[in-house]
């Protein structure tokens, strides 16, 4: 750890202000008040409290030195380095894969390097044999097919079809509720959920009366057509809800376009289970349709 950076951190510590480790802070204040510890040392120790809460939260024993470089390094060790920390000399930066699962939020302003960081993460994960599911909203992952060891890229409307079929092991009725909630929520018509779910369940029953390999699920356009043609209040308790459902379906069918004109889409889970990464290019769709696809695939 660079000396200047550590000193800056320590200088920012305000022993008079309550912080996340109040118990330790109170003890340090008491030690400083009775002259047993200098204020500078109290600052060192409080920094250590903040950095190592599991070991030091309730005890001040062994506080003679500020965190060492080795302590810093052990906190940031990674098996998939994608860069180095400027704050800690020699410490590599990357995800922890073998002993824990973590989420990342890469936040920053335009030009900060968010996309570059995520691309670095993708390459590091791929090098360790992890499968990736990449949602491409701006066509900036087109080269992943060449750069990742095993990767397929599906592009909305170009040889890839987005079906609504239930994942393996999920009951039709449960999946219908999930889909209905997504469609209704993304169109801001929450009260259409139940009628949409009923409609989906009914249509799946109709489509699968004859024995077929796998289950067929209606596309959004068919759902919309059935909603328009169905007798009033067949699926909804109120006529308003029926109208809301048609409004939802018409909007989603229009937004998804030909991409969703299928009764059975590609099963991405098969690729991921085999360790093949999948890039889903949604750049040709508008945001509400992008969200619906992402929601369905994440569900």
Partner 1 sequence: MARDQKVDRTEICILLDESDLLVTDEAHAGFPGRQSPLMRVLRQGREFGIMVALGINVL
Applying CB under 8 A, which of residues 64, 110, 146, 232 lies at the interface with partner 1?
Answer: 110
Q: Among residues 70, 51, 80, which one has the least CA distance to residue 1? A: 70
Q: Counting contacts by CB under 8 A, is residue 285 touching partner 1?
A: no
Dist. CA 182–CA 178, nearest whole Å: 6
Nearer to partner 1, 224 or 296 (CB): 296
- Using DSSP's 3-state secondary structure scheme, residue 227 falls into helix
Two tokens, residue 160: 């890839």
* Residues of span 195-234 touching partner 1 by CB under 8 A: none
Q: Which of 1, 7, 17 is nearest to 40 (CA)?
A: 7
Out of 9, 10, 41, 272, point to the residue binding partner 1 (CB under 8 A). 272
Instruction: By CB under 8 A, name the one of 28, 134, 199, 289 that touches partner 1.
Output: 134
* Torsional sign, CA 37, 42, 46, 51: negative
Q: Is 298 in the site for partner 1 (CB under 8 A)?
A: yes
249 φ/ψ angles, rounded to the nearest 5 degrees = -65, -40
CB-CB contact of 186 with 179 (8 Å): no
User: Which residue of 137, 152, 160, 222 would you call a contact of partner 1, by CB under 8 A?
Assistant: 137
Within 8 A by CB and 6+ apart from 66, the residues are 6, 10, 44, 45, 47, 48
Place of tokens 């018409």: 250
Q: x/- string (CB under 8 A) for partner 1, residues 63-102? A: --------------------------------xxxxxxxx
In the β-sheet with 277-281, what is the strand arrangement from edge to edge? Answer: 159-160, 151-156, 277-281
Q: Is 161 in the site for partner 1 (CB under 8 A)?
A: no
**Least distance (Å) between residue 184 CB and partner 1:** 7
Binder of partner 1 out of 188, 206, 240, 258 (CB under 8 A): 188
CB nearer partner 1, residue 96 or residue 173: 96
CB–CB of 195/235 below 8 Å?
Answer: yes
Q: How many residues bind partner 1 (CB under 8 A)?
A: 53
Binder among 10, 51, 185, 207 for partner 1 (CB under 8 A): 185
Q: For residue 107, state whether it binds partner 1 (rule: CB under 8 A).
A: yes
Binding flag, residue 131, partner 1 (CB under 8 A): yes
Among 59, 68, 115, 158, binds partner 1 (CB under 8 A): 115
- Measured distance CA(184)–CA(245) in Å, rounded: 8
Binding site for partner 1 (CB under 8 A): 95-110, 114-115, 117-118, 121-122, 125, 130-138, 140, 167-170, 181-182, 184-186, 188, 190, 193, 272, 287, 291, 294-296, 298-299
């Amino acid at each position: 750890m660079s000396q200047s950076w550590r000193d800056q951190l320590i200088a920012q510590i305000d022993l008079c202000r309550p912080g996340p480790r109040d118990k330790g802070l109170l003890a340090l204040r008491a030690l400083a008040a009775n002259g047993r510890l200098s204020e500078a040392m109290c600052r060192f120790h409080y920094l250590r409290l903040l950095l190592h809460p599991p070991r030091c939260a309730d005890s001040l024993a062994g506080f003679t030195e500020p965190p060492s470089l080795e302590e810093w390094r052990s906190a940031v060790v990674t098996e998939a380095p994608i860069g180095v920390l400027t704050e800690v000399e020699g410490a590599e930066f990357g995800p922890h894969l073998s002993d824990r699962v973590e989420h990342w939020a890469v936040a920053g302003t335009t030009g900060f390097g968010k996309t570059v960081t995520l691309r670095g993460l993708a390459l590091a994960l791929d090098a360790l044999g992890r499968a990736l599911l990449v949602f491409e909203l701006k066509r900036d992952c087109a080269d992943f097919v060449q750069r990742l060891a095993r990767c397929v890229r599906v592009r909305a409307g170009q040889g890839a079809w987005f079906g609504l079929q239930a994942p393996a092991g999920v009951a039709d009725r449960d999946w219908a509720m999930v889909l209905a909630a997504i469609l209704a929520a993304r169109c801001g018509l929450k009260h259409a959920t139940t009628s949409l779910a009923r409609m989906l369940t009914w249509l799946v029953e109709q489509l699968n009366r004859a024995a077929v390999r796998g289950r067929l699920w209606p596309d959004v356009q068919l759902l919309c057509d059935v909603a328009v043609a169905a007798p009033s209040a067949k699926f909804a308790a109120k006529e308003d809800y029926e109208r809301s459902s048609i409004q939802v379906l018409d909007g989603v069918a229009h937004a998804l376009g030909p991409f969703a004109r299928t009764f059975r889409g590609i099963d991405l889970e098969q690729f991921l289970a085999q360790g093949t990464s999948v890039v889903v290019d949604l750049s040709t769709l508008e945001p509400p349709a992008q969200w619906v696809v992402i929601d369905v695939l994440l569900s």
